[in-house]
Every structure is written in structure tokens, then in C-alpha cells.
Structure 1
Amino acid sequence: MGAALHLAHAEQTPPVQRNRTKGKGGGGSDRYDALIRRVYADKRQTSESRDLILLMAWLAHRDPDRHDTDLGFWERAGNILGRYTINGREKPRLADLIASDRPRYEIEHRDAIWQRRACAAPMIRRDGECGKHATAHADRIDTNGWHWPIWYCNRHAEWGRKHEAAYREARKTAPAPIPNRGGLLPSYFTLKSSDEGWINVYEWACTWTWNRSWKPPEPYGLRADDWPRTDAEEEVETWEPPTLRLVVANGELVGL
């Protein structure tokens, strides 16, 4: 498939033996069933990550061609997802889905504090905030290293400038932000080549999606399961991911 993802071969994880109860119509569950259940219960999933993880689970556990050593794991994924043309360039859909899961921190602009745009300056003659329509904002950094806006109106521009100065000073010693996007692929699947393999996967995808400046989020790692939880997050169930294998030939990753 030309210039595409240089990865190959999923290593099938042996399924858990079914434990059927005679006469009761019951049945056990292999790891594929458990993986699918976890995907649909995982509130961190986006439509992109869910689609890709479900496909990867099927390829690793159910695809009739999964034992074909001439047809690599990522090649099968790429064939199913296909390619499309944009600005005269043919592009693999697989790259879009992987790049959307790149581990990173993004400022949450959809939060109510961004939408409200009300001046937060405290009032002197009455309790509470100003509340007038804000025309600008400063930033603050919380203990997660996340950035949040402090809105202010024209009347309280001086108050806002003090917060802007405080923010510039805080950035000098602020902790690295805890990632809040991506990192689900390594949480559901491991590579025998460890994090280095996943870095290669994400870097490949980013070369197709104009995110070439992406770097692994230090010091938190690539797996969303390993990132420190915030107070608003729910506990994520313990999970042992299936293992995929990278194949290298002549110093190059073999694949699509």
C-alpha cells in the first residue's frame, strides 16, 4: 500500500477457556468479549478511538485472516478502513484514527467557564463577582498543570493585567500538564516493543495529519490508564491488554 504504516502481525492472545454450565445454557467469555464490554463502558472513548479499538479487537481475535503471516495486522486494518483523497493526496483513514488518539493535553474550550465570559473581578461594595460581559481573559494554572481562563471586562482591565502577570510567572514553575486526550490504544493493547513501538505508531500517523510536532507527554507516559486521575474522573477497571507484535526487517518496520 505504498507509504503507509510500517507495522505488522498481531499476536493472538490465547482466549480464556469457556466454562459452560451443563443444562443451564450458560457460558463463559473469552478476552474478546471482555474487551468489547470494557470499550462500551469506558466514558473516555471518542467515536474515533471506539471505532479503531473495536476494529483492532476483531482483527486480533476474530478475523479469519489473523493467522496469515503474509498479511500483517496493520495491513488488514488499513485495507478495511481504506483511503481517501484530499488536496490531490491519497491518505489512509487509519492515520486519522490513530492520530486522534495521540496522548496529549488540550485546553478545554468547551467548558462552561469558557462559554460564560462573565467578568470574575470581585466587587468592593457588594459580595460576589462583577458578572458583566468580559472582553478579555488572563489564565491560571491549576495543580494538574491545566490552564483555565479568568475573564474580565474593560472596567476591570487593571485587575486582569495583574492576573496576566501572575500567570506568566506561574508558567516558570508550573508542572507539566496531565494529558487529557488520547492514550487509549496503549491502554487496550500492548506492543512487545513497549512504548517505543507506540511512539513509532503515533509518529507515523502524525506525519499524515499535520501533527508532526507531537511528542510523548512527559513524565506521564503514553497510557491513559497510567495518568493521574483528577477528582472528577471515575475509577477505570483493571485491565490486562492483549499483545501486538512489531516486525522489523533490515532495520525497517515491516507493514503496509
Structure 2
Amino acid sequence: MGAALHLAHASQPAPGERHRTKGEGSGGGETFADFARQVYADERATPVAREMLLAFGFATMVAHSEEERDVRAVWSTVRKAMGTTRTGWRWRLDEAIVADAPRYAHSKYESHRVCVAPRLRPHPDGPDDFRNKLGICGTLADWEHYALEKQAGTGWYKFRWFCKRHLDHLARVREQLREPNASAPEPVPNRGGLLPVYFESDWLDTYRRRLDSPTWEPPVYGISADDWPTPGVERVPPRAKLRLAALDGNLLVEAGPGDRR
């Protein structure tokens, strides 16, 4: 990913930092179009995350010149750009920040819920049937009949399903996995963490406020998605970030949809 822009605090510019004005390129020569290309090329970003990142980029790179830029104006522009929820009582930006909180999201409900117990006799549907190819029972399993396996390298979850006829297999597999699971690492995050990739600010406090959890802590791997290891994928090199200012120590101005300041 190319380097993003260095932008000064709205109230206290960093020494030696070049301000950008509306329509200009940055000190690194990057434009909003360059920034947008980076965001759209980031495969980690969901549609909502892209919308949020582009709104922040627009507010800090296009909508507010150096003379106009202040914390309330920037955040007001972002909130208005994303609008409110269908009910109209909550800013969509709040929900987007919650969705960007760094975390590991497992895929229990996306996995194939079929019994993986060994097949003792060929299924009558023939050699091309998946049950014969995989050598498994293949019967649909109930939601509670699974063994959780934590991967040694990532801590990510793998679900092994069993049907009611093979609960003895389930019990044995759960016992076999007890010790390896206990020694597996904390799961590497696979969701969120994109705001800290593109913008500098007090994201810990922001996530805590949006999650309504003052004791929330980021994963041990870090708060930025760029810091998370992914097997078989090279870590993204550090990049310069847009800098967002805080207001009285709080990144997000506490205002409801009716506040048009």
C-alpha cells in the first residue's frame, strides 16, 4: 500500500508538517483519488468500512481547508456523509466504528454442519458422492454436537461436527483436543482494525466509547489490522497515516443526529 497523507491536528499542527488545503495534494503528493484507490484495494475492508474510511478521507482531505478545519467540523462532515440509521435516532458512523473494533470472529454458522465420523460402509449413492469421497458419515449434525479445535498457529477455530449416532466419536475427539486447545494462542484478529491503519488518533478510547465498554482492550496482536499476522501472507509494511485530532481527549464529538453543529 502506498503512503497515506500526514495531516496536522486540527488545533495543534505537528512541527514541520505541511498543511494541505482544499483540492491540494499532500506533502507526499497523494490526492483523495489515490487514497480512495488504496481503500478500495484493501481486501480487508467491508463495504461499510470503505464508506467510513472514504468519509474520513473526504472530510480531512477535501471538505475542510486548513483555515476551516477543526475537530467539530471534520467529525460533523463524516457523520453527515454517512447519515443516520433507518430509525433516524443514531448516526451510522457510530455503528461503523463498533463494527471496526478489532476482534476475531469465528465461522461456526458458516461451516459445513455434517458428521465427520468415519464411514464404515460405502454410501449407496455411488463413488462420486461426497460421503464416499471424504470417507465420512455426512449426516446433518445438531448445532450442539461439535468439537472445537483451535489451530496451533493462529488460534482460529475449526468445528468438527457429529450426528447423534456418533456421539461416542464426539466425546473422544473433545478429549483429544482438550490439551492442544489449552495451549493454543489467542486467536489472531480477522475483523476490524482499519481505522488505525489509515488514521492516527486515540482509537482505544474511541472503540471503548462506541462499544460502551470502558474496560475493553484490543487484542494482544495490536489495535491496527496491519500488525496482525496472517499465515501465508506478508505483513503490510508500515504506512504514514492521516492524523485526526481529539476533542477534550475524546475522539468522537458526543452529539446525536439532531445536533447539527
Shared fold, TM over 0.5: yes
Equivalent-residue separation in structure 2 for 1:213 and 1:129 (angstroms)? 47
Q: Is the 8 A contact 2:229 2:235 kept in 1?
A: no
Equivalent-residue separation in structure 2 for 1:73 and 1:36 (angstroms)? 18
Alignment of 1:127-206 (within 5 A): 128-135=135-142, 136-143=145-152, 144-191=154-201, 197-206=202-211
Equivalent-residue separation in structure 1 for 2:85 and 2:171 (angstroms)? 48
Alignment of 1:218-233 (within 5 A): 218-231=219-232, 233=233
Deviation at 1:166, TM superposition (A): 3.6
Q: Deviations over 1:39-92 (max 9, x none)?
A: 111111101100000010111110046632374422332233344575xx9322
Equivalent-residue separation in structure 2 for 1:227 and 1:253 (angstroms)? 24
Q: Is the 8 A contact 1:119 1:133 kept in 2?
A: yes
Q: TM-score, normalised by structure 1?
A: 0.73
Q: Is the 8 A contact 1:13 1:243 kept in 2?
A: no
Q: Which residue of 1 aligns with 2:53?
A: 53
Q: Which residue of 1 aligns with 2:129?
A: none
Aligned residues: 222
Q: TM-score, normalised by structure 2?
A: 0.72
Matched, 1:121 2:117: yes
Q: Deviations over 1:139-196 (max 9, x none)?
A: 11112111111011222210111222344444432211000100011011112xxxxx
Q: Is the 8 A contact 1:140 1:147 kept in 2?
A: yes
Q: Would the alpha carbon gap of residues 247 and 100 (structure 1) be closer, same or farther in structure 2, given more than 3 Å must change?
A: same
Q: Would the alpha carbon gap of residues 218 and 130 (structure 1) be closer, same or farther in structure 2, given more than 3 Å must change?
A: same
Q: Would the alpha carbon gap of residues 100 and 223 (structure 1) be closer, same or farther in structure 2, given more than 3 Å must change?
A: same
Alignment of 1:58-137 (within 5 A): 58-64=58-64, 67-68=67-68, 69=70, 71-84=72-85, 86=87, 90-109=89-108, 111=110, 114=111, 116-123=112-119, 128-135=135-142, 136-137=145-146
Deviation at 1:214, TM superposition (A): 7.7
Equivalent-residue separation in structure 2 for 1:217 and 1:70 (angstroms)? 25
Deviation at 1:224, TM superposition (A): 0.4
Equivalent-residue separation in structure 2 for 1:70 and 1:119 (angstroms)? 55
Q: Is the 8 A contact 1:95 1:204 kept in 2?
A: no
Q: Is the 8 A contact 1:104 1:180 kept in 2?
A: yes
Q: Is the 8 A contact 1:9 1:71 kept in 2?
A: no
Equivalent-residue separation in structure 2 for 1:213 and 1:255 (angstroms)? 17
Q: Would the alpha carbon gap of residues 148 and 67 (structure 1) be closer, same or farther in structure 2, given more than 3 Å must change?
A: farther
Q: Would the alpha carbon gap of residues 13 and 202 (structure 1) be closer, same or farther in structure 2, given more than 3 Å must change?
A: farther
**AA matched with 2:79:** G
Identity of matched residues, %: 29
Equivalent-residue separation in structure 1 for 2:179 and 2:63 (angstroms)? 55
Q: Is the 8 A contact 1:206 1:214 kept in 2?
A: no
The root-mean-square deviation of aligned C-alpha atoms, in Å, is 3.2
Equivalent-residue separation in structure 2 for 1:189 and 1:106 (angstroms)? 23
Equivalent-residue separation in structure 2 for 1:170 and 1:214 (angstroms)? 29
Gaps of 5+ in 1: 1-7, 19-28, 192-196
Q: Which residue of 1 aligns with 2:218?
A: 217
Compare the two structures and name the one with the higher strand fraction. Answer: 1
